[in-house]
Structure 1
Amino acid sequence: MNGVQCKLARVALGWGVRDLAAAANVSTQTISRLERGELLRDATLDAITQVFEVAGITFIEDSSDGFGIIVRKPQPTLADR
């Protein structure tokens, strides 16, 4: 995940920087640094990525065609059936 993907995912979910920071247990400055394109420690980036993946975001790897995200539709729970 790169900084642009982070911001895309955050906005797609309707989350602010504070929401993501709280969910990933990192500081708001860490999220801002990532979105500016600064490098983070692998463990920090993994924690942020995992939060997004649990929320339904899939990251499309950087390739010659570009990069992006996929937002999965929410899965119905037993209570919804």
Structure 2
Amino acid sequence: MSIDAAQCRAARALLNWSRNQLATDAEVAVRTIVDFERGARQPIRSTLSAIRRALEDAGVEFIDGNGSGPGVRLKKG
């Protein structure tokens, strides 16, 4: 599953992460995060995977759009 810009912003908010922190942990450019989150461009698949992996490693769980739309939450425990 891919992630969208709103999920990325929400995940960062749950972690209280700046765009710089996410860029560092995902090993991508800050500009990539900025452009993705504001809808200016869609990163390539490997970049999205790196962003998702960094957020998941920090404790975020991505929720599929199961009728209510996609979302995020912190993992239990």
TM over 0.5: yes
Total equivalences in the alignment? 74
Match of 2:25 in 1: 23
Identity rate of aligned residues, in percent? 36
Larger radius of gyration: 1
Please give the alpha-carbon distance, in whole angstroms, between the structure 2 residues aligned to 1:36 and 1:62: 21
Q: Which runs of 5+ in 2 are unaligned?
A: none
Quick check: which one's strand share is greater? 1
Q: Which runs of 5+ in 1 are unaligned?
A: 76-81
Please give the alpha-carbon distance, in whole angstroms, between the structure 1 residues aligned to 2:42 and 2:66: 19
Match of 1:51 in 2: 54
Q: CA RMSD in A?
A: 1.3
Moved over 3 A (4+): none
Match of 1:11 in 2: 13
